[in-house]
Amino acid sequence: MTETYYDLLRRQGISRRSFLQFCSLTAASLGLSQVGAQEIAHAMQTKPRLPVIWLHGMECTCCSEAFIRSSHPLVKDVVLSMISLDYSNTLMAAAADQAEEQLESIIRDYKGKYILAVEGSSSLAGDGIYCMSRGKTFIEKLAHVAKDAKAVISWGSCASWGCVQAAKPNPTQAVPIHKVVTNKPVIKVPGCPPIPEVMTAVITYYLTYDSIPPLDAQGRPKMFYSQRIHDKCYRRPHFDAGQFVEKFDDDGARMGYCLYKVGCKGPTTYNACSAIRWNDGLSFPIQSGHGCIGCSEDNFWDKGSFYKHLPTILPPGWGGIEATADKVGLTAVAVTGAAVAAHAALSAIKQTSSKSRNDKLAAKE
């Protein structure tokens, strides 16, 4: 197959103007210059389309849902064209044997050239029987497809960290993709779901430069995950001013104050929501008045309330769901203080009693 993305887009009735618009937008979101846009355009017109195999493990399909709902019509078309023609359980037209045949033929025909995108985590418990399709466990399928892939992308927090399935007590022993696929570069694109524009940009980058985008120490593309929500949040001036929302129906909430005190996890969350936003740049959680819940961070389900700044640090049996660092710490301080006071009192008693004994002895002498 020598069809390029450009051919494909033209075949689907997308104008050249829109195509170039897509290239500039993607270049901008990748932090590339105008030259970058030209490079992307060039790659999309000359390089053969990159086959993408999209596998689903344990997930809720919110990554796919976000993907197909990206409101920029062009991005949506590109995204769909990028993936739906190859193999994607949810989006492809083929079914059953036909679908599996297609999968095998891609693996055969594009050995070492296709990209494997995975949505969802793998289950290790019971040898993987909690996630199966067509009599095969997901781990088997994953290993099979990953073997000849060029690179692996973990879409979303499930594939990147484990997400809700891996939350305590994790009955199915859900693990992220990089725990199963260990011999291939894994690009993590966390988020529940990740931002569609980020997803397209990652694939586009790969197509254009034939290499994975620069990753940070945790394996996430630097251009989207190297800064926190907090660093680019438009409510940041209120944070610096000390103007906080205390309750969701107070004046502060109406005036758009900072959501730190109602549990905004922006200060500890690495994602691009506050820069790229959602639905064609329309809004993002904080803009709609709700704190960031930190969905692109590892473990975000297990930190207690989404509406408290301090996370819960003890298991629920120990001090309930409100056992924050402040509660635990102040208790420790109080206990120490009481112990010290008791010891001081005891010391004083001992000293006076030994003194009076000494005095008595001295008197006798």
Partner 1 sequence: MKIEKYSGRVTEGPLENVYVYEAPVRLWHWITVLMMIPLAVTGYLIGDPPSVTGAGEATFNYTFAWVRIIHFSCAMIFAVAFLMRVYWAIVGNHYAHSLFLPPVWRLAWWKGLFRQLAYYLFIKKEPDSWIGHNPLAQAGMFMMFVLGAVTIIVTGFALYAQQWASGQSWMLLFGWVHCLFGESQAVRTVHHLAMYYLLVFVILHIYMAFREDIMGKETVISTMVNGIRAFKTKDH
**Rounded to whole angstroms, how far apart are CA atoms 106 and 54?**
12
The CB-side HSE value for 104 (13 A sphere, CA atoms) comes to 6
Q: Environment class of residue 23 by beta-carbon count within 10 Å: exposed (0-12), middle (13-18) or buried (19+)?
A: buried
Q: Report the nearest approach of ligand HEM to the CB of residue 267 (Å).
A: 5
Eight-state DSSP code of residue 268: G
Cβ–Cβ < 8 Å for 234, 241 = no
Eight-state DSSP code of residue 212: P
Q: Report the nearest approach of ligand SF4 to the CB of residue 323 (Å).
A: 22
Tell me how far apart the terminal alpha carbons of the chain are, to the nearest angstrom.
Answer: 113
Closer residue to ligand HEM, CB minimum distance, 128 or 304: 304
Eight-state DSSP code of residue 121: B
Closer residue to ligand SF4, CB minimum distance, 178 or 238: 238
* Residue 286 interacts with, from ligand SF4, partner 1, ligand HEM, none (CB under 5-8 Å by kind): ligand SF4
Which stretch in 39-47, 144-152, 176-184, 265-273 sits in contact with partner 1 by CB under 8 A?
A: 265-273
Closer residue to ligand SF4, CB minimum distance, 155 or 270: 270
Q: Report the nearest approach of partner 1 to the CB of residue 47 (Å).
A: 29
Backbone angles phi, psi at 228, to 5 degrees: -85, 160
Radius of gyration of the chain (CA): 28
Q: Is 7 among the residues that bind partner 1 (CB under 8 A)?
A: no
Q: Is 238 among the residues that bind partner 1 (CB under 8 A)?
A: yes
**Rounded to whole angstroms, how far apart are CA atoms 152 and 116?**
5
Select the residue whose beta carbon is closest to ligand SF4 and give its number: 266
Answer for which of 213, 256, 267, 289 binds ligand HEM (CB under 6 A) is 267
CA distances from 49 to 8, 43, 96 (A): 9, 9, 25
- Among all chains, which residue has been given the structure tokens 């790229």? 276
Closer residue to ligand HEM, CB minimum distance, 326 or 359: 326
Closer residue to ligand SF4, CB minimum distance, 151 or 275: 275
* Residue 196 interacts with, from ligand HEM, partner 1, ligand SF4, none (CB under 5-8 Å by kind): none
Residues 281-310 touching ligand HEM, rule: CB under 6 A, are 310
Residues that bind ligand SF4 (CB under 6 A): 229-230, 233, 235-236, 239, 258-260, 264, 266-267, 286, 291-292
CA distances from 141 to 10, 122, 185 (A): 34, 10, 18
* Residue 222 interacts with, from ligand HEM, partner 1, ligand SF4, none (CB under 5-8 Å by kind): partner 1
Which stretch in 85-93, 131-139, 204-212, 254-262 sits in contact with partner 1 by CB under 8 A?
A: 254-262
Dihedral Cα 207, 190, 267, 70, nearest 10 deg: 70
Cβ–Cβ < 8 Å for 215, 187 = yes
Identity (one letter) of the amino acid at 121? S
Angle between helices 16-29 and 73-84 (to 10 degrees): 90
Q: Is 306 among the residues that bind partner 1 (CB under 8 A)?
A: no
* Residue 45 interacts with, from ligand SF4, partner 1, ligand HEM, none (CB under 5-8 Å by kind): none
Give the binding site for ligand HEM (CB under 6 A).
267, 310
Give the binding site for partner 1 (CB under 8 A).
216-218, 222, 225-228, 231, 237-244, 246, 252, 257, 260-261, 265, 267-268, 270, 294, 297-299, 303, 309-311, 313, 325-326, 328-330, 332-333, 336-337, 340, 343-344, 346-347, 350-351, 354
